[in-house]
Homo-oligomer: A and B are copies of this chain.
Amino acid sequence: MSDGGESPTASGGDRTTVEDRPTPAERRSPEGWPVELRGVTESLVTTLGPNDLWNVAALGLHPPETPSDADSGNSAAESVGSVASADSPVTARTWGNTRTRRNFHRQGGGYVQFVRDPVDFVDATLSIFEVERPVLDSADAWVEVEADQVDSGVSGATRWEEWELTPRDGAVERETVPTVNRGFNAVVEATVAASRLGVEAYDQTELQNRLAYFEDVGRTCGDDRVRAAFDRLRDHLSE
């Protein structure tokens, strides 16, 4: 167990098979955002409804376009491009006539938050989940955003609207060492599959098989919160 007395993290000659990695220091958060946004980041958003409660829903955040993405001429690649840059806005899409869409129009924004609780993900995705205050206890960080509709369209039979999100306020509640848990990840994928049940564009047998696979992964690799999330998911689906 000796490394010849050298520090395990000493620099120089570290890799034999891999090079050219971005170090964390090279990564940037978009202006006003407390987190790096790379690829599509799954957040929860609260928006104030006409009943004076905050509706909690899932919202996928797309980082700003980077020059290399824009150069590619591929619009899909542009919207899910690589590291966020500081000079163009973060965007998100609402799909269908959801509470988030209506509340964005009515209130002009909401609170985007970064959450690791699997039960919150399930409740936000598959049920009407309303709270009295805009920031969840489980949020590691939150951003109050102004939401401006900048585009709309139809995909399949679903009308979508695209929103630019501009940070107005925000805070980091806690930082930690991120860890990888396949059980938590399975919850996120399961909510995606479950939210497509009954939507004609998707093969329903395939969705059910995928749900079964993720539930198996979740119950094997997850903790008690992941198991509670799958219990809740099954409850929501049978409602």
Contacts and interface: CB of A to CB of B under 8 A. Distances in A.
Range class of the A interface residue count? 35 or more
Interface string A147-188: 000000000000000000000100111111111111111001
A220 B24 contact: no
A72 B168 CA distance: 49
Give the copy number.
Answer: 2
B221 A135 contact: no
Interface of A: 1, 3, 6, 8-10, 13-18, 21-24, 34-43, 48, 53, 60, 63, 76, 80-83, 107-111, 114, 116-117, 119-120, 123, 127, 129-138, 140-142, 144, 146, 168, 171-185, 188-189, 192, 210, 213, 217, 220-226
A235 to B, nearest CB: 11
Contact of A38 (B3, B131, B174, B181): B181
A145 B185 CA distance: 27
Contact of A221 (B16, B39, B119): B39
8 contacts: A8-B135, A17-B123, A23-B137, A36-B176, A40-B183, A180-B188, A182-B188, A185-B189
A9 B34 CA distance: 16
A22 B225 contact: yes
Given A8-B135, A39-B226, A223-B39, A140 B178 contact: yes
